[in-house]
Structure 1
Amino acid sequence: MDVVTIGETMALFTPNEEGMLRHAHSFSMKFGGAESNVAIGLSRLGHRSRWISRLGEDEFGDAMLSFIRSEGVDVSYVTRDQNAPTGVFFKEFRRMNDTRVYYYRKDSAASRMNADWLLDESILDAEYLHLTGITPGLSPSCREMLEKAIRVAKGNGTKIVFDPNLRLKIWRDGTEARQFLKKYASESDIVLPGISEAEFLFGALSPEEYVENFHELGIETVIMKLGKEGSLISSSSGLVKKIPGFMVERVIDPVGAGDAFAAGVLSGLLDGKTLEEAALQGNAMGAMVTMVNGDAEGLPTRSDLVSFMNGNLEDVTR
């Protein structure tokens, strides 16, 4: 298995028109979750990915499992809970560049994941273990589960990739969030923070100072997302380089761009690309998904990604 990832995915309801959610009368149902987005992104690029989670024994869970399985992702370690629901969330497109997200995930099936539930064998065949800062915020039992996952990965020589993916709404307070995000980052080989997440963790500094702070936590490789400016890569060997981003004429939906970035970077590393090449591919993936409504819908195939990076996408293909 190339990449194993663990986390919650929810049913996503998006209004069929822009404006405040209170005025919406019809919705489209999709699915969204950082970890499954990464798994789907990797699968579409031809890699073997596994998503581990827990779903409610309900219609949302049935539909989600069918969708993610159909994308070629291994879901053999996803379990169902008869006593807790699959989580739900809503997107609100208020106006251009103003997207808001509302979660209804308290006491969801995924929040009940725990260390006893996680099987060692689900991780042992992985080259990379991808984790985010969302899962430990769901519950204390989820934190215990991630700690077990990290122990298993380290004992097996599996590299750990951590995306802080800050979601303050799921933490008790900022102090708790900061404590645990730093903890999981320090136990990882590669960290993929956004610039705002770095500021949350370390205060107002320059991007170069942020990556130095991450290295001081013991992290070997830092790839920091800089939005439309691209990304900044830094390794313990002393390499620090800014990687340019890709121009997008209109952002339709920015949610999921960071997950696409992670999939692009991991795909590059799996393909034996240099850190610079992997980050450039991540930048391209992040740009591409912002042009499509939905968390996973804009994740490209390998041929689409190559065309985009080469500037060959046309308005009409005949």
Structure 2
Amino acid sequence: MTQKPQSVQADVVTIGESMVSMQPMAEGPLAYAPLFTKSIAGAESNVAIGLSRLGLRARWIGRLGVDPFGDLIQSTLAGEGVDTSLAERDPQHPTAIYFKEFKGYGDPNVYYYRKGSAASRLSPEHVKPEWFHGARHLHVTGITPALGERTADAVAVAMKMARSQGLTVSFDPNLRRKLWTEEAARRTLLALIPLCDLFLPGLEEAEFLLGELPEEEQYGQRFRDMGPSAVALKLGERGAIGFEEGRAPLRVSPYPVARVVDTVGAGDAFAAGLLSVYLNQALTADIRFERALQAACAMGAIATQYRGDWEGLPKRAELDRLLAGGRDVTR
């Protein structure tokens, strides 16, 4: 019998690596950039910030170095209302950083410096039951399993432990080809899908995991056959398709935007928007998933409108106005 959480202290727990993000202040080759701005980034902490801004209680679990970069990450997350009280500080290994390069066309190039980081040392022995005490839901991505020798095992243990304590689990494969071989990525990601309740792949990730299928709807059924009760397939500028048991595939239109500045972080914003509604127990099941997908598409689109992974994410009232077709009063 699963153990139900007692008092709810966190709606969502996220586990992963946060890094310091360095962005040049002007477009052009990174080698010649004289000035940089500093922020933080990381798929799971991006989701935690997005959820916090949308009114949910988020708890971020991660490992940071005992260094100024770790201080920056922990204080920034706390300042955004994210619970970081269970984050671990490792005096032997550093906090990771990464650089973005904007050349004025296409997506930015990203250069990671995370090998040997404190987060890459995550192992099953680090996973603790108290991470999930008083929580309703766990969100993880496929980035953490790629970081170190035992990080994939740690994520699997965390997913199993969370479910044993009565939490539901969402999993975004968030494929990062720079971090591991395609064979290892496919094998590991496929093994984690049965451990989640809600699976959030993009179309390119679905094709990577299952090969090209004749119809997009077939991906949803194939993934649901692996165990998840719901699948949200991200289609980028074409919106999304949702799959739930007993319902026909649900297509949701994209949220319109005039131009795209930076797509990094859009998938994390999508996840935050989706979970902010999907976990709303006040909504009936027949409308909850559709509204969750609409919020997810809007959040993902909004995230492409600014540089940075999370800085421009809206608060709940702002998102509600945008979904209702309203505009903010700016002057």
TM bucket (normalised to shorter chain) is over 0.9
Partner residue in 1 for 2:47 = 38
- How far did residue 144 of structure 1 move? 2.2
Find the residue that maps to 1:130 and give its secondary structure. strand
Residue 200, structure 1, aligned to residue 208, structure 2: yes
Amino acid at match of 2:317: S
**For residue 40 of structure 2, what is the amino acid of its counterpart?**
F
Alignment of 1:99-114 (within 5 A): 99-114=108-123
Could you tell me which residue of structure 1 aligns to residue 128 of structure 2? 119
Q: Within 5 Å, which residues of 2 pair with 1:264-303? A: 264-272=273-281, 273=283, 274-303=288-317
Give yes or no for contact 1:290–1:298 (8 Å, CA) kept in 2.
Answer: no
Instruction: Find the aligned partners of 1:152 and 1:165 in 2 and give their Cα distance.
Output: 22
Mapping 1:5-84, distance limit 5 Å: 5-84=14-93
For 1:235, the aligned partner's letter is: E
Q: Pick from 144, 147, 150: which aligns with 2:156? A: 147
Deviates more, 1:173-182 or 1:234-243: 234-243
SS at match of 2:262: coil
Question: Is contact 1:186-1:217 (8 Å) kept?
Answer: yes
Residue in structure 2 matching 1:176, options 184, 200, 206: 184
Moved more, 76-85 or 235-244: 235-244
Say if 1:124 and 1:152, in contact at 8 Å, map to a contact too. Answer: no
Q: Is the 8 A contact 2:107 2:262 kept in 1?
A: no
Deviation, structure 1 residue 311: 2.3
TM-fit CA distance, 1:178: 0.2
State the partner residue of 1:317. Answer: 330
Question: In structure 2, how many angstroms separate the alpha carbons of the residues matched to 1:67 and 1:128?
Answer: 23
Task: Return the alpha-carbon distance in structure 2 between the equivalents of residues 260 and 120 of structure 1.
Answer: 27
Distance apart, 1:267 and its partner CA: 0.4
- 8 Å contact from structure 1 (residues 192, 225) kept in 2: yes
1:231 corresponds to 2:240: yes
Alignment correspondent of 1:308:
322
Partner of 1:262: 271
Question: What amino acid sits opposite 1:90 in the alignment?
Answer: F
Deviation at 1:126, TM superposition (A): 1.6
Match for 2:94: what amino acid?
A: P
SS in 2 for 1:62: helix
Write the distance in 2 (CA, Å) between the matches of 1:9 and 1:144.
19
User: Following superposition, which runs of at least 4 residues in structure 1 exceed 3 angstroms of deviation?
Assistant: none
Structure 2: gaps (5+ residues): 1-9
Identity %: 46
Count of residue pairs brought into register by the alignment: 316
Asked whether the 8 Å contact 2:107–2:263 carries over to 1, the reply is no
Amino acid corresponding to residue 185 of structure 1 in structure 2 = I
Deviates more, 1:270-279 or 1:292-301: 270-279
AA of the residue aligned to 2:300: G
Q: 1:84–1:107: 8 Å Cα contact kept in structure 2? A: yes
CA contact (8 A) 2:14 2:138 kept: yes
What is the alpha-carbon distance in structure 2 between the residues aligned to residue 35 and residue 254 of structure 1? 16
Which secondary structure does the structure 1 equivalent of 2:276 belong to? helix
Counterpart code for 1:217: M
Q: Tell me which residue corresponds to 1:96.
A: 105
1:190-238: per-residue Cα shift (whole Å, max 9, x none)? 0000011011111122311211221221221000111011100001223
8 Å CA contact 1:12, 1:91 repeated in 2: yes
Letter in 1 for 2:43: A
Question: In 2, are the aligned partners of 1:123 and 1:149 still within 8 Å (CA)?
Answer: no
Query: Which secondary structure does the structure 1 equivalent of 2:108 belong to?
Result: strand
Q: Say what the alpha-carbon RMSD is for the aligned residues.
A: 1.2
Partner secondary structure for residue 21 of structure 2 = strand
| DSSP 3-state at the match of 1:50 | strand
Task: Give the equivalent residue in structure 2 for 1:191.
Answer: 199
1:130 paired residue number: 139
Q: How many Å separate the matches in 2 of 1:80 and 1:104? A: 18
Q: Which residue of 1 aligns with 2:3?
A: none
Contact 1:54–1:78 (CA under 8 A) maintained in structure 2? yes
Normalising by structure 2, what TM-score? 0.93
CA distance in 2, matches of 1:239, 1:125: 34
For residues 118 and 98 of structure 1, the distance between their equivalents in structure 2, rounded to whole angstroms, comes to 35
Deviates more, 1:65-74 or 1:208-217: 208-217
- SS of equivalent residue, structure 1 residue 98: coil
- State the alpha-carbon separation in 2 of the partners of residues 94 and 77 from structure 1: 39
Secondary structure at the counterpart of residue 286 of structure 1: helix
Unaligned runs of 5+ in 1: none
1:53: Cα distance to partner?
A: 0.2
